């Protein structure tokens, strides 16, 4: 908080007191705050105005896309991770291809998504999933493989089959690592949706920032960037709080 306060003071001194910065290129923090308030309180949420809705509406559109992509990523990451994490044969067969796909950054999928799906919601969700599924998948695999062999053998001795082992032994053991993967995944999903909206959308916080750039509304650009950062911090803090509450034993 001290570093943030110091940064804001320096910014204010440069722009409002010393006036050594071009106001078009670097507006004052006061102008940015006024822009956030103005875009949040004027007009309808989802229509009208410079950005096809106000700041609140565009943020909600982006969050809806993130939730959809994140849900798919959680389901796909856990399922794929559970299968590969408990099968050495499948791991040896699939891991090279999966490792190759994992190295491709989410933004690289945007041209392909536009070719396959056009300017639709599906293309944006596709980009989100392409970036957000990997942390969950990798953490699920790591969690499965770290399960105690003694516990697995005990469950097998009691007659548990493969899917019973996965659902009753491996998954509960891997849950802390899966949750950590979900935290990282949500951050990547939030970054991916903004990147996708910058290029291939007509609504959302990323679109708002890009459109503000086109009309040289620098306070609106920075206001959008600040909003993106604040929302990311809020959700990350929520994941940390939930993790501490759910996995109390890890704090001791």
Q: Using one digit for the tens of pLDDT, what is the confidence trace for 142-186? A: 888 888 878 877 877 777 777 778 777 878 888 889 999 999 999
C-alpha 70/C-alpha 182 separation (Å) is 9
Q: What's the pLDDT score for residue 152?
A: 77
Q: Using one digit for the tens of pLDDT, what is the confidence trace for 183-202? A: 999 999 998 888 888 877 77
Burial class (CB in 10 A: 0-12, 13-18, 19+), 60: middle
Q: Using one digit for the tens of pLDDT, what is the confidence trace for 67-123? A: 999 999 999 999 998 888 887 888 778 878 888 888 888 888 888 888 998 888 899
pTM, two decimal places: 0.84
Helix, strand, coil in percent for the chain, rounding step 5: 80, 0, 20
Task: Please say whether the beta carbons of 232 and 187 come within 8 A.
Answer: yes
Q: What's the pLDDT score for residue 182?
A: 92
Name the residue ranges covered by the structural domains of the chain.
44-246
**CATH entry, 44-246, from 1.10.3720.10, 1.10.1660.10, 3.40.50.920, 3.40.50.720:** 1.10.3720.10
> CA-based diameter of the chain, in Å?
76
């Amino acid at each position: 908080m001290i570093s943030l306060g110091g940064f804001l003071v320096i910014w204010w001194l440069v722009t409002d007191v010393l006036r050594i910065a071009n106001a078009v290129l670097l507006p004052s923090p006061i102008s940015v705050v006024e822009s956030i308030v103005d875009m949040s309180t004027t007009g309808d949420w989802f229509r009208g105005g410079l950005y096809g809705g106000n700041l609140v509406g565009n943020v909600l559109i982006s969050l809806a896309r993130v939730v959809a992509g994140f849900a798919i990523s959680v389901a796909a990451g856990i399922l794929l991770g559970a299968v590969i994490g408990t099968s050495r044969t499948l791991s040896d067969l699939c891991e090279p291809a999966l490792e190759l796909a994992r190295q491709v950054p989410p933004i690289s999928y945007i041209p392909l998504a536009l070719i396959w799906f056009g300017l639709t919601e599906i293309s944006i969700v596709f980009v989100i999933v392409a970036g957000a599924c990997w942390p969950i998948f990798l953490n699920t695999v790591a969690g499965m493989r770290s399960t105690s062999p003694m516990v697995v053998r005990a469950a097998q001795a009691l007659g548990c089959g493969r899917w019973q082992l996965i659902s009753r032994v491996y998954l509960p053991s891997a849950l802390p690592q899966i949750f950590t993967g979900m935290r990282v995944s949500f951050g990547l999903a939030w970054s991916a949706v903004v990147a996708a909206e910058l290029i291939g959308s007509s609504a959302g916080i990323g679109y708002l920032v890009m459109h503000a750039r086109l009309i040289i509304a620098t306070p609106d650009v920075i206001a959008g960037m600040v909003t993106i950062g604040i929302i990311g911090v809020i959700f990350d803090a929520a994941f940390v709080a939930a993790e501490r509450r759910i996995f109390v034993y890890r704090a001791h």
